[in-house]
Structure 1
Amino acid sequence: MAQVTELPKEIKFEAKLGLFDATMIVMGSMIGSGIFIAPSIMAGYMPVPQLLILLWVIGGILTAFGAIAYGELAGMMPKAGGQYVFLREAYNPLLGFLYGWTLFFVIQSGFIAAVAIAFAKYLGVFIPALSENNVILKFNIFGWNYTLNSAQLVGVGVIALLTCINCFGVVFGAFVQNLFTVSKIAAIAVLVFVAFLIGNGNWSNFFENFSIEKFQPIAPPEALSMGFLAAFAVAMSKALFAYDAWNSITFAAEEVKNPHKTVPYSLVLGTIGVMLVYVLANMAYLYILPIKEMAVVPDNRVAAEVAERIFGVIGAQLIAVAIMISTFGCDNGMILAAPRVYYAMAKDGLFFKGAGKLHPKYKTPVNSLILQGIWSSVLTLSGTYSALLTYTAFTSLLFNVLTVIGLFILRKKYPERERPYKAWGYPVVPIIYILVAVFFIIYIIIGDPKSSGFGLLLVLIGIPAYIYWSKTKNNTNTINGERKT
């Protein structure tokens, strides 16, 4: 009698994250080093205090509107991969793949590298031997000058540590996320409170006579020739950078308890919470620093400048600690979430096969985590992550717009599909998001056509990779007798 061999049981994700965990992943992934630096950069493009605050409000509302639309999609399809799945289902596998491709090779890995370096820079305030000034290696190859410094090695160490932490289960990773997110929100809250309480600032800093005809950016030099709308859009791109990664929790939807409701609620709560944090922080900065001084702060370290004016020399050190806490938690959130996208792509046969496997004990996509960690480390050591972020700042917004448009497509495509959460204000809210976002995309391209064009090119490079993996997938299916049309 022939023995029946049992197939090994498929390892699946376990739903262990609650609403607080999910909200902390949203907020923690968004709040990094941006709020401590970006306001100064934005002030250079838009040196009008009322409009600076308006930029952060618009950015927050736009992000919240996007989160409301994503909430319905996440409630309808609470699968690992989140936005990748939404784009695949609304359009086709190619568009979903191009998003995941860009996320892995540029957006997420570039953000992880940049935030890790930001952590290292501020660690160098306390340990100079670990700063960017400590050059370890320097050489020239065919006219290309390469410099390796201690901060890059610290950045790689941070990525390795957080990757390791997240290999040992989503609960462990979420615990680290909760701890550091609460800590950085508390640090920003203390700075805001103290600034208004004992900062000896000036309320008149919030108001300034403004005329579009006489509008003139302050810095950087390339901004001086920009018109009002282009400068406004480029300044907004810096705010949107600080608001980015709000969709991270959709990637890990399968690991959330009652995801049909928890994921949408966490998206809305997290984005609104971050908007309040950002607006209050900018108000505190403006209360202490007139906007024209904010625009020319050395290295754009506006938070450190504000803290130093309040507390003296120790203030800059306190902010350095706050930024280290913030960037560490931010990197953890991004490292935790994105490998779920690569896992979903691999399960569809559109990424490295090993990335589609979970650890049998910890139920984490260990191979995807390791791949992400290696590539992020390469970018950290190469020093190219900063350029990649510039090139893809608008592509992230472009994919978000396509995803919100996908909400309309999926309502028509799958009208019978259960929707535990329906987008509030539909269709007005998602239409507003689309129109405002498209406006900024157009003017970001006008204001910085070179970076935007190169960013789009990086996305399109993914097409040959898609063709390769599609053929590999089809050949495998044919061999296994599972050919699908």
Structure 2
Amino acid sequence: MSTNSNGFKPTLGLFDATMIVAGSMIGSGIFIVSADITRNVGSAGWLIVVWLLTGFMTLTAALSYGELSGMFPKAGGQYVYLKESYNPLTAFLYGWSFFSVIQTGTIAAVGVAFSKFAGYFFPVLEMTDENILFTVGAFKIYPAQFLSIVIIVFLTYINTKGVKGGKAIQSTFTVTKLLSLFGLIVFGFLLAAKREVWNANWTDAWSMKNIISTTDITPVLGVAVFGAIAASMVGSIFSSDAWNNVTFIAGEIKNPKKNIGLSLFLGTLIVTVIYVLANLMYLSVLPLNDIAFAPSDRVAVSASNMIFGNIGTYVIAVMIMISTFGCNNGLILAGARVYYTMAQDGVFFKNAGKLNKNAVPEWALWAQCVVASLLCLSGKYGDLLDMVSFIVVIFYVLTIAGIFILRKKRPEIERPYKAFGYPVLPAIYMLMGISFCVLLIIYKPNFTWPGLIITLIGIPLYYLAVNNSKKTE
């Protein structure tokens, strides 16, 4: 097998890359977050609008990243694009946020979701007071957290043995969960859809309300509508995130100039269609209040119980375990390539920039594993992810703005694929992303300043890393 200039083996084809996009996107969010969205917007029409807006943003961003991936088909993806568009500091701030919270926090959250739903089969894994192993200060430690760590360690180990093992897991589990989700949607419409439920949900479908409880409903009027949409999209954006992971492994993709852009489009399109259809199925099976107040926000469990009866809970539990296992494999596989590229630039631990005999960055994989495992134990990964939704979108906006910058700054670079709808669609994405961030600052400040602080901590770390790199030269 040939290797590229960085020593990576290009072994992943278009199908593999598409499965990484789709598999990294679909975790547990689609099964859960519609409850919170429904409480925020209070109507069927606006629930679907939130998912359509998220889908539009995701597809637009993915199509725009196609141009960047064609220009810079290197390991590191978004980190590389930011460095080329702006400067090494901007790229480092992204890489630091990615390592400290964005990727590792997502790995932790997805790992714990696997364990929580395994609790349907093994009650000891339920995160209840009677299952607490021990308490450390304010932290409660459950067996589910240890199972999450075991899963993360296992998938990390598999990925240290070369990209082929990770590829096999990713393709198998992603195909399985796509077919499972599609099956759930079809069975929902065929076996459990009720015309009276659908009609009731779509009565007054465009009157936005904040549903605090079944008896406490507040109309949302004026500019507050935009705040409610922004608050709702925190969940849907998290559920649709990680589509850019395929750009991090460009060094291992065959014909990356073509296949990365195409896989971004195909993967995000497939997932967007499935997400919208899943929510339409929820609305055909469950009354709006049952979506808003599903036990533990597990909307898919409530829907599945309507479709399959009592066994429905276990059907969804298995689906989520398959989904989260495959999702974490994609996240773990891709994330380490960012730290590898940072180390090559002299701004991360030196060992992270080395490949093992299987042509993968083993040290970087284990470093990611340690941070994700610590976040599993902290129990604070959910809070951290809420905090960084703001930062994630800021970096997406900056990256897409980089297309405009590079068209002026580097017009001579070959662009085998150009951003679809340029300049209109990328500009619309940027406006929507900026609006989302501004609305979060106004209406959900607790989602913004902590993530900003985490990112800004990276500034002194960057200069320390640069100085240390100069001393060791």
1:299 alignment partner in structure 2:
296
**Distance (Å, rounded) in 2 between the aligned partners of 1:258 and 1:102:** 29
**Distance (Å, rounded) in 2 between the aligned partners of 1:270 and 1:12:** 27
Q: Following TM superposition, by how much is the alpha carbon of 1:88 offset from its aligned partner in structure 2, in angstroms? A: 0.6
1:398 alignment partner in structure 2:
394
Among 423, 429, 432, which residue is 1:433 paired with? Answer: 429
Counterpart of 2:341, as a letter, is A
Among 41, 45, 51, which residue is 1:46 paired with? Answer: 41
Counterpart of 2:456, as a letter, is L
**Distance (Å, rounded) in 2 between the aligned partners of 1:274 and 1:211:** 25
Among 122, 128, 150, which residue is 1:127 paired with? Answer: 122
1:352 alignment partner in structure 2:
349
1:175 alignment partner in structure 2:
168
CA, structure 1 residues 29+475, in 2 after alignment: closer, same or farther (shift >3 Å)?
same
Among 24, 37, 47, which residue is 2:32 paired with? Answer: 37
Counterpart of 1:300, as a letter, is D
1:379 partnered with 2:375 = yes
1:456 alignment partner in structure 2:
452
Native 8 Å contact 1:111 1:389 kept in 2: yes
CA, structure 1 residues 268+88, in 2 after alignment: closer, same or farther (shift >3 Å)?
same
2:331 alignment partner in structure 1:
334
Identity %: 46
Q: Following TM superposition, by how much is the alpha carbon of 1:135 offset from its aligned partner in structure 2, in angstroms? A: 3.1
1:262-315: CA deviations, max 9, x gaps? 000000111111100101110111100122221011110000000111211101
Please give the TM-score of this superposition, normalised by the length of structure 1: 0.92
**Distance (Å, rounded) in 1 between the aligned partners of 2:347 and 2:251:** 20
Q: Following TM superposition, by how much is the alpha carbon of 1:131 offset from its aligned partner in structure 2, in angstroms? A: 2.6
1:161 partnered with 2:154 = yes
1:237 partnered with 2:234 = yes
Mean CA deviation greater in 345-354 or 305-314 = 305-314
**Distance (Å, rounded) in 2 between the aligned partners of 1:11 and 1:423:** 27
Q: Following TM superposition, by how much is the alpha carbon of 1:13 offset from its aligned partner in structure 2, in angstroms? A: 0.3
Alignment RMSD (CA, Å): 1.8
Runs of 4+ in 1 over 6 A off after TM superposition: 220-226
1:250 partnered with 2:250 = no
1:186 alignment partner in structure 2:
179
Q: Following TM superposition, by how much is the alpha carbon of 1:206 offset from its aligned partner in structure 2, in angstroms? A: 4.8
Question: 1:125 is paired with a residue of what secondary structure?
Answer: coil
**Distance (Å, rounded) in 1 between the aligned partners of 2:200 and 2:74:** 47
Native 8 Å contact 2:440 2:447 kept in 1: no
2:138 alignment partner in structure 1:
145
Q: Following TM superposition, by how much is the alpha carbon of 1:220 offset from its aligned partner in structure 2, in angstroms? A: 7.9
**Distance (Å, rounded) in 2 between the aligned partners of 1:350 and 1:330:** 28
**Distance (Å, rounded) in 2 between the aligned partners of 1:380 and 1:225:** 38
1:91 alignment partner in structure 2:
86
Counterpart of 1:308, as a letter, is N
1:279 partnered with 2:276 = yes
Among 47, 55, 63, which residue is 1:60 paired with? Answer: 55
**Distance (Å, rounded) in 2 between the aligned partners of 1:415 and 1:187:** 45
**Distance (Å, rounded) in 2 between the aligned partners of 1:30 and 1:101:** 21
**Distance (Å, rounded) in 1 between the aligned partners of 2:411 and 2:73:** 17
Mean CA deviation greater in 109-118 or 191-200 = 191-200
Native 8 Å contact 1:237 1:444 kept in 2: no
Native 8 Å contact 2:17 2:246 kept in 1: yes
Mean CA deviation greater in 147-156 or 196-205 = 196-205
Native 8 Å contact 2:305 2:313 kept in 1: yes
**Distance (Å, rounded) in 2 between the aligned partners of 1:370 and 1:129:** 28
Q: Following TM superposition, by how much is the alpha carbon of 1:46 offset from its aligned partner in structure 2, in angstroms? A: 1.0
Q: How does 1:64-79 map to 2 (within 5 A)?
A: 64-79=59-74
User: Which one has a bigger Cα radius of gyration?
Assistant: 1
Among 392, 413, 417, which residue is 2:413 paired with? Answer: 417
CA, structure 1 residues 139+62, in 2 after alignment: closer, same or farther (shift >3 Å)?
closer
2:190 alignment partner in structure 1:
197
**Distance (Å, rounded) in 1 between the aligned partners of 2:138 and 2:455:** 27
1:388 partnered with 2:381 = no
Aligned length: 463
Among 109, 113, 116, which residue is 1:118 paired with? Answer: 113
Please give the TM-score of this superposition, normalised by the length of structure 2: 0.95
CA, structure 1 residues 257+271, in 2 after alignment: closer, same or farther (shift >3 Å)?
same
Q: Following TM superposition, by how much is the alpha carbon of 1:223 offset from its aligned partner in structure 2, in angstroms? A: 10
Q: Following TM superposition, by how much is the alpha carbon of 1:438 offset from its aligned partner in structure 2, in angstroms? A: 1.1
Native 8 Å contact 2:111 2:324 kept in 1: yes
Question: 1:378 is paired with a residue of what secondary structure?
Answer: helix
1:269 partnered with 2:266 = yes
Among 74, 77, 86, which residue is 1:82 paired with? Answer: 77
Native 8 Å contact 1:201 1:288 kept in 2: yes
